[in-house]
Structure 1
Amino acid sequence: MSQALPPPASLYAERLERFEDEADLHALSEAAIAAILDGGGFGWVKAPKASIVEQYYRGVLLVPERELIVGRMDGMVYGAAQLQKPSRNNEAQAFSVQMMHHFVAPYARGHGLAREILRKAEERARALGFHVLNLDVRATQKGAIALYEAEGFTRWGTHPAYARVRGETIPGHFYYKKLK
């Protein structure tokens, strides 16, 4: 594993609508693969090739119901999250949005970047008119759970067979936060 990065001079999160250059795409892919290898993957258990992750993120930007929030330290991408809007025919749940695939590369943790990404996702959800932000997380992700609870999310349930990783069944927790 890479050595932890020194404290950044700048730390922020932003919505990414397109990749201005390949550097952001490569940095995002590298950070995602590092998070997967560290056990904090977002569905992936084994790290795919960088080209697959890059293709995935290119696709995310094409889906109208998805928004990509990236976290930067000193201008470089080290983490991300996605907002998944409900489909247009889902009128009953049109007031809520799902945050998913929230991660920070392990070598960039400890500086508050995950919190910045989360807060930007909340800000964006409010700006889009959503009233509730939902998310779920593996029960093994103690740091993420502590962050969500510190930021005012309410755990409403636990699924005892949420994920299967390396032959082990892992529980997961479900959270929501009222935005308005």
Structure 2
Amino acid sequence: MIEVKKIKEFEIGEIEELTSATMDAIQEGIGFGWIKKPAKKKVIEYWKGVILVPNRWLFVGKYKGVISGSIQVVTLSSTNEAAIFRVFIDTHFVARWARGHGLAKLLLEAAQKECKKNKYTHVILDVRETQKRAINLYEQLGFKLWGKLPVYHKLLDETMVSGNFYFKELKNP
């Protein structure tokens, strides 16, 4: 019923499914950095760009055989030797219609497993304080709050929302 996979190129129909899930999340206010809902073409171009970036790993989650969420792991450039041990989680989301089945957790666990496999020891992420379900998941999985930014994200109505910043040390069993 649910599955996660790391992808380096899209198979037939996958970019359309991911775009549809993304548009659903944006409609709900997840954002992806956009304040206003972008054109579908712009979202497709965004996803095409993601898989071209060498220091981004894209994982997609499927619910009932349809891509309904994703998570990205951003690794730092080898020129940043002082921080080469850590990665950053970006655009972790699940479409509204696929929530409540454990896909968000499965995506995050798959990303962490790949990080460990590639010898990364720390993961950092940020999230709007209004995303309570995501915050609960991150804290359940051992992420520690290390800071807050009072002016983090602007909403469509121009109000500002605070953001929480988390880290997790990846320990091998």
Structure 2-normalised TM-score?
0.95
Matches of 1:159 and 1:110, distance apart in 2: 28
User: Which residues of structure 2 form unaligned runs of 5+?
Assistant: none
Q: Is the 8 A contact 1:42 1:102 kept in 2?
A: no
Alignment of 1:151-162 (within 5 A): 151-162=141-152
* Aligned equivalents of 2:59, 2:50: Cα separation in 1: 11
Q: Match for residue 168 of structure 2?
A: 177
Cα RMSD for the two superposed structures: 0.9
Moved over 6 A (4+): none
Number of residue pairs the alignment of both structures matches = 170
How far does the alpha carbon of each residue in 1:3-37 deviate from its partner, in whole angstroms, 9 at most, with x for none? xxxxxxx211110110121x110010010010011
Equivalent residue, structure 1, for 2:97: 107
From 25, 28, 44, the equivalent of 1:38 is 28
Asked if 1:14 corresponds to 2:2, the answer is: no
Structure 1 unmatched ranges of 5 or more: 1-9
Counterpart amino acid of residue 119 in structure 1: E
Identify the residue that residue 3 of structure 1 maps to in structure 2: none
Asked whether the 8 Å contact 1:155–1:175 carries over to 2, the reply is yes
2:64 is the alignment partner of 1:74: yes
Q: Aligned equivalents of 2:164 and 2:121: distance in 1?
A: 20
Output one character per residue of 1:116-170: Cα deviation in whole Å (capped at 9) or x when no partner: 1111111111111100011000111111001101111001110111111121111
Q: Deviations over 1:65-120 (max 9, x none)?
A: 10101011122100001111001210000000000110100111111111111111
